[in-house]
């Protein structure tokens, strides 16, 4: 009798299959922008590639606030469940008040891509591709912009972010 119960229990526990449901990346936390790479791409040829490191300032005159100026090593963004927050102001008690907040959409992930982050920033749609995602860092690349229409080159920025807080 014991062997029958024992064999049924072994059969029961060994036949269970664990099911893992795929989930979106958890981007929650506060991040500082550590590096900005600016590229001009004209007819699939990179014509200009500039990298900004901590202590330098990336300024894009064709961009609107709060994404027009990035103080590399100091500019922070905060990701929550479905909100990206920018432009923090210290509240005097050690906390931050995020003056610009936008709802984000996480695009689908596949075996080849880590997904997309989409949000509306001051009336214009922003799309960033999630290039690399680590527990304490991530790399985002913009979908690009053409400030001069068909006459100019495509301009992309790649942002390297490091997690600084919860």
pLDDT tens figures, 67-119: 889 999 999 999 998 999 999 999 989 889 999 999 998 877 666 667 888 88
- What is the count of structural domains for the chain? 1
pLDDT tens figures, 16-53: 555 454 444 578 899 999 999 988 876 655 567 889 99
Whether this prediction's pTM lies above 0.85 is answered by no
Q: Which domain does 156 fall in, by range?
A: 2-165
Counts of helices then strands in the chain (DSSP H, E) = 1, 11
* Residue for token pair 């960033």: 128
What's 76's domain CATH number? 2.40.128
- Distance, CA of 75 to CA of 159 (rounded, Å): 11
3-state DSSP assignment of residue 125: strand
């Amino acid at each position: 009798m014991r062997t029958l119960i024992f064999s049924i229990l072994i059969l029961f526990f060994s036949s269970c299959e664990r099911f893992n449901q795929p989930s979106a990346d958890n981007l929650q936390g506060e991040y500082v922008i550590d590096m900005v790479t600016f590229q001009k791409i004209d007819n699939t040829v990179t014509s200009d590639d500039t990298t900004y490191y901590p202590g330098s300032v990336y300024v894009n005159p064709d961009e609107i606030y709060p994404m027009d100026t990035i103080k590399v090593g100091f500019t922070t963004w905060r990701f929550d469940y479905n909100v990206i927050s920018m432009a923090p102001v210290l509240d005097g008690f050690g906390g931050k008040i995020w003056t610009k907040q936008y709802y984000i959409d996480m695009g689908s992930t596949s075996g080849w891509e880590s997904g997309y982050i989409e949000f509306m920033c001051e009336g214009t749609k922003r799309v960033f591709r999630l290039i690399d995602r680590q527990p304490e860092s991530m790399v985002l690349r913009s979908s690009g912009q053409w400030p001069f229409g068909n006459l100019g080159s495509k301009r992309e920025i790649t942002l390297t972010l490091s997690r600084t807080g919860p």
